[in-house]
Chain A
Amino acid sequence: MTPNDLLKRFFGGDRRALARLISIVENEDPRADSFLNEIYDHLKGAYRIGITGPPGAGKSTIVDRLVQNCRQAGKTVGVIAVDPSSPFTGGALLGDRVRMTKTELDPDVFIRSMATRGSLGGLSKAAQDVADVMDAFGKHVIFLETVGVGQSELDIIRTADATVVVLVPESGDSVQAMKAGLMEIGDIFVLNKSDRQGADLAYLEIQSVLQLKPVRGEWRPPVLQTVADDGKGIDELFRKLQDFYHYQKERNILSQKFQERVENRVRRYLEEQILRKYWSPETEKQFQRSLKAILERKKSLRQVLKEFAP
């Protein structure tokens, strides 16, 4: 496939071209920049929904259910499901698809599994670009499912228009400890597996933590109880996501978020490029020498820092 072919097929709605473009972007292939330029004009402002929460909370199952709701509402859907790469081998086992079977052969649902490839923020570095690619392809709603997170993998808020934090009754005890981080980023909180013992108590604990939170704007993050396995509570969650969309749209918050996202991405990209330019192979050699000097106690750590960043 030549680059022109690929783009033509992409804009013609060819799913294989979409898959290939995502790979090119994810692999930082030299062609990625020009493709991303080409599609930028075609961004249509898909609703980007982030789903995050601890491992095993039911994120994939909830996405699977929500995708169904979207389809019933006539919306086309893209899903980006992120799982961790091993820091030792670089390999990854991407298993979210196993739980996403409700709309499996629907041509208007496109699911892509991604590995973090060294990113620590709960998403993969290319996730934003991949969301752009899906947006330009014409997807109305894009779900971004993070890896199972603890307290600090919060990249999702800089990526999504709405962030859903999924917890389970067993998270109850740690909700207190999560006051900072995860408990601050949700626009909607979901207590999944709420048919389990301890759900009521956990629900109250989540509520009480949220009540202590300073309110920004008029939106008070609701807490919903779901049992994703049999679909309980999912319609309500879908409605809240729609409400939140309209709430943001009416107040221009969506375009504000878009601006912030653009600024953030440009900054990150520049940081990376500047570092790459500044850190030549020659600098790396010098750095290795200095490192040795530190270990041999010929220089102090601070002295070396000064050498590199005077």
Chain B
Amino acid sequence: MKERKIRVLIAKPGLDGHDRGAKVIAASLRDAGMEVIYAGLRQTPEMIVEASLQEDVDVIGLSILSGAHMTIFPRVLELMRENGMDDVLLTGGGIISEEDIQKLEKMGTGKLFGPGTNTNDIVAYIKEWCEKNRRAVEKEEVDS
């Protein structure tokens, strides 16, 4: 079997058109050898989860600059649970206060990143998470 590629969906929910950040992240993840599905602008939580389900991604990454993060992240988490996507990482970044980051991470998102984050840190975080998570899933499959 060949090395399994990490698949990531990158989307930018919300109504503003500032997708520069999402594109920079998408390009960095690609350059790190991942397959990045770029879903683009103005995505609703429903669209994001449906696309992620079809694409069977390991990771969903959201860029939120509009201040709507306390609505969007919980809703995406909820839809992921409804669809049994408990082996998928939800991460992201944008203009989010430290306080809100802590709240969201407690709700079940992965690490969230603020402005000025080095893209290498995000790459490293995703790689590490996938390695750990996949091993757990494979073990589960062998056990069952």
- The chain A residues found within 8 Å of chain B, CB to CB, are 1-2, 15-16, 19-20, 22-23, 27-30, 85-86, 89-95, 97-98, 104-105, 110-113, 115, 117
Distance A59 CA – B31 CA, assembled complex (angstroms): 25
A86 / chain B contacts, CB cutoff of 8 Å: 30-31
Min CB distance, A52 to chain B, in Å?
A: 21
User: In the complex, which residues of chain A have a beta carbon less than 8 angstroms from the beta carbon of B38?
Assistant: 93-95, 97-98
Interface residues in chain B, defined as those with a beta carbon under 8 Å from any beta carbon in chain A: 1-2, 4-5, 26-27, 29-40, 46-47, 50-51, 53-56, 83-85, 141, 144
- A29 to B134 CA separation, bound complex (whole angstroms): 14
10 A-B residue pairs with CB within 8 Å: A16-B84, A28-B1, A89-B30, A89-B32, A90-B5, A91-B36, A93-B38, A94-B38, A95-B40, A97-B39
Given A23-B56, A27-B2, A30-B1: A93 in contact with B27 (beta carbons within 8 A): yes
Given known A2-B144, A104-B47, contact A113–B55 (CB-CB < 8 A) = yes
Which residue of the partner chain, among A2, A90, A110, contacts B54 with CB atoms under 8 Å? A110
Contacts A98-B40, A104-B51 known; 18 new A-B pairs at CB < 8 A: A2-B141, A2-B144, A16-B84, A19-B55, A27-B1, A29-B1, A89-B33, A90-B5, A90-B33, A91-B31, A91-B35, A93-B26, A93-B27, A94-B36, A95-B38, A97-B39, A111-B54, A113-B37
Residues of chain B within 8 A of A97, CB atoms compared? 37-40, 51
Task: Please tell me if the beta carbons of B5 and A115 are within 8 angstroms of each other in the complex.
Answer: yes
* Complex contacts, A27 vs chain B, CB 8 Å: 1-2, 4-5
- The answer to whether B55 and A115 have CB atoms under 8 Å apart is no
Whose C-beta in chain A lies nearest to the C-beta of B85? Answer: A16
Minimum C-beta distance from A241 to chain B (A): 23
Interface residues of chain B: helix, strand, loop or mixed (majority):
mixed
Chain B positions within 8 Å of A30 at CB level: 1
Bound state CA distance, A30 and B141, in angstroms?
A: 13
Q: Give bound CA distance, A20 to B85, whole Å.
A: 11
Q: Are A19 and B32 in contact (CB under 8 A)?
A: no
Contact among B33, B37, B55, B56 with A91 in the assembled complex (CB-CB below 8 Å):
B33
- Bound CA–CA A130/B141 (angstroms): 23
Distance A268 CA – B144 CA, assembled complex (angstroms) = 35
List the A side residues contacting B39 at CB < 8 Å: 97-98
